[in-house]
């Protein structure tokens, strides 16, 4: 692989709520197996308090000590949170993932949707990536310096601000075009410029301007409503999709189901200096503690995190480890082992064991 001594990375572990304490350890176990198979140094895992348990022990779902510790790590894995169940005042405050994104300026939310053979996909050959701007748009928690962008001038009137800036749009557009360059050189801009002419109109315009620096990438654009229809039937015709915050959230959930299940939808939130692996789905409190959760989204999010670290640190061992994780998951699902949401009967633990075995077996056969 390489003669350079392997670097050891310090990775944060934030279990979160609901199924988080089940799927995050699953990802950790599989990352450990993939690092060993790739000849990389074992990760140093640093567990930090977050979520409902942190309220009990530290008085806040995202303690200041957790944020301070994250700043000193190479990257981290975040489990889902169930902020709707938190006691007040925590329920009404910025949730843990939002707090971390805002604190570290994680402006890019990269959300792939890829179908697995035998994985219950609606559109079998789906293989796309949604690049979601993560700091502004129409979500109130992300578009003001302090407080939120929602307010009520009277008890019967509620107002939300939607903010689009040239600087943030250029930044996310460049991220999307660089990704398209590395994939199929095809990019789709999603907006609603026929109605939201100034805000999403600016988003579309700036993305088109950035396209001039990438002449080998084919570019088209669709309104958000038309895009939802196209994804349901023709998801396999798209590759990289770039859009603003709320549209990206909606489309990525849809794309995850089209690819087979929201349980297989991974994501990474990143800036130029920090990155966080986070499954696109929620905490699923209805099945928490039952060993039923699908850990694929968290596992693949971790693989994406290794890829981000590999690029940032020019570390081919990590890139190899990320690839081994993806292949291990694909081999496991296509071989007939999957959790109930994909039509199988495997528990979270059984699926994790099967992927670890697939990663290890592939290394021995090489």
Backbone angles phi, psi at 329, to 5 degrees: -65, -45
Q: Which CATH number applies to 1-106+277-366: 3.30.1490.190, 3.40.718.10, 3.40.50.970, 3.40.50.720?
A: 3.40.718.10
Classify burial at 273, counting beta carbons within 10 Å of its beta carbon; exposed 0-12, middle 13-18, buried 19 or more.
Answer: exposed
Residue 88 — pLDDT band, cuts 50, 70, 90?
very high
Determine the pLDDT at residue 312. 94
pLDDT of residue 301: 97
Of 315, 294, 297, 360, nearest to 32 by C-alpha is 360
Confidence of residue 3 (pLDDT cuts 50, 70, 90): low
Instruction: Quickly count: other Cβ atoms within 10 Å of residue 167's Cβ.
Output: 8
Going by C-alpha positions, the residue among 342, 343, 347, 301 that lies closest to residue 325 is 301
Which pLDDT score is estimated for 364?
Answer: 77
Q: Where are the domains of the chain?
A: 1-106+277-366, 122-258
Query: Can you tell me whether residue 72 is helix, strand or coil?
Result: coil
Among the options 17, 221, 249, 320, which is catalytic?
A: 249
Residue-wise pLDDT for 161-213, tens only, equals 889 999 999 999 999 999 999 999 999 999 999 999 999 999 999 999 999 99
String of DSSP letters for 234-295: HGGG--EEEE-HHHHHHHHHHHHHHTT-GGG---EEE-SS-EEEE-SS---TTTTTTT----
Q: Are 1-106+277-366 and 122-258 equal in CATH topology?
A: yes
* Model pLDDT for residues 116-138, shown as the tens digit of each residue: 887 788 998 999 999 999 999 88
Reported as a single tens digit per residue, the pLDDT across 10-66 is 999 999 999 999 999 999 999 999 999 999 999 999 999 999 999 999 999 999 999
Of 272, 189, 196, 168, nearest to 238 by C-alpha is: 189
Percent of the chain whose predicted confidence (pLDDT) is above 90 = 85
- Residue 107 among the catalytic residues: no
**pLDDT higher than 50, residue 107:** yes
Residue 366, pLDDT > 70, answer: no
pLDDT value at 1 more than 50 = no
DSSP 3-state of 170: helix
Q: Measured on CA atoms in the order 105, 134, 286, 301, is the torsion positive or negative? A: negative
Judge whether 189 and 161 are in contact, CB under 8 Å. Answer: no
pLDDT at 150: 84
The confidence score (pLDDT) of residue 138 equals 84
Whether 253 sits among the annotated catalytic residues: the reply is yes
Whole-number average pLDDT of the chain: 94
How far, rounded to the nearest angstrom, does the alpha carbon of residue 275 sit from its chain's CA centroid? 10
147 pLDDT exceeds 80? Answer: no
Distance CA 62, CA 16 (A): 10
Helix axis angle for 316-334 and 296-313, nearest 10°, is: 160
Pick the catalytic residue from 225, 234, 272, 314. 225
Would you say residue 2 has pLDDT above 60? Answer: no
- Specify whether domain 122-258 bears CATH 3.40.718.10: yes
> Residues 304-342: pLDDT tens digits?
999 999 999 999 999 999 999 999 999 999 999 999 988
Set 17, 74, 107, 192: catalytic member: 192
Q: What H or E segment, with its residue span, contains residue 100?
A: helix 96-104
Give the mean pLDDT of 150-164. 91
Contact 235, 123 (CB under 8 A): yes
Please tell me the predicted confidence (pLDDT) of residue 4: 76
- Lookup: tokens for 343: 């039509």
Residue 213 among the catalytic residues: no
Token duo for residue 93 = 């405050």
| 225 catalytic per annotation | yes
At a CB cut-off of 8 Å and minimum separation 6, what does 139 contact?
149, 245, 246, 249
Residue that is written with structure tokens 């409190």 in the block: 285
Q: What is the pLDDT of residues 265-302, one digit of tens each?
A: 999 999 999 999 999 899 999 999 999 999 999 999 99
* Least confident span in 43-47, 93-97, 225-229, 294-298: 93-97
What value does the mean pLDDT take over residues 65-90? Answer: 96
Active-site choice (139, 221, 315, 320) = 139
Which member of 253, 315, 320, 341 is catalytic?
A: 253
């Amino acid at each position: 692989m390489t003669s350079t001594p392997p670097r050891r990375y310090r990775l944060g572990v934030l279990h979160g709520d609901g199924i988080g304490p089940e799927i995050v350890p699953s990802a950790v176990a599989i990352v450990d197996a993939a690092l060993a198979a790739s000849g990389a140094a074992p990760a140093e895992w640093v567990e930090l308090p977050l979520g409902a348990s942190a309220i009990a022990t530290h008085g806040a779902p995202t303690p200041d000590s957790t944020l301070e510790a994250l700043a000193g790590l190479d990257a981290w894995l975040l489990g889902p949170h169930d902020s709707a169940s938190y006691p007040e005042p925590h329920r009404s405050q910025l949730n843990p993932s939002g707090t971390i994104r805002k604190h570290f300026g994680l402006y890019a939310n990269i959300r792939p949707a890829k179908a697995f053979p035998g994985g219950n996909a609606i559109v079998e050959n789906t293989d796309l990536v949604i690049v979601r701007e993560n700091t502004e748009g129409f979500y109130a928690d992300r578009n003001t310096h302090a407080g939120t962008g929602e307010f009520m001038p009277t008890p019967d009137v509620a107002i939300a601000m939607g903010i689009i800036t040239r600087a943030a749009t250029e930044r996310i557009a460049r991220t999307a075009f660089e990704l398209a360059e590395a994939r199929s050189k095809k990019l789709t801009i999603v907006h609603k410029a026929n109605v939201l002419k100034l805000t999403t109109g600016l988003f579309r315009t700036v993305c088109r301007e950035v396209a001039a620096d990438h002449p080998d990438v084919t570019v088209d654009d669709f309104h958000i409503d038309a895009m939802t229809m196209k994804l349901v039937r023709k998801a396999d015709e798209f590759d990289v999709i770039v859009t603003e915050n709320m549209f990206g959230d909606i489309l990525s959930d849809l794309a995850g189901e089209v690819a087979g299940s929201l349980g297989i939808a991974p994501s990474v939130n990143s800036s130029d200096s920090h990155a966080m692996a986070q499954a696109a789905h929620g905490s699923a409190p209805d099945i928490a503690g039952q060993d039923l959760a699908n850990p694929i989204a968290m596992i693949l999010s971790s693989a994406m995190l290794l890829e981000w670290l590999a690029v940032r640190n020019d570390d081919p061992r990590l890139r190899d480890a990320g690839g081994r994780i993806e292949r291990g998951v694909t081999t496991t699902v296509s071989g007939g082992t999957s959790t109930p949401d994909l039509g199988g009967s495997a528990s979270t633990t059984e699926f994790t064991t099967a992927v670890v075995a697939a990663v290890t077996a592939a290394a021995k056969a090489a």
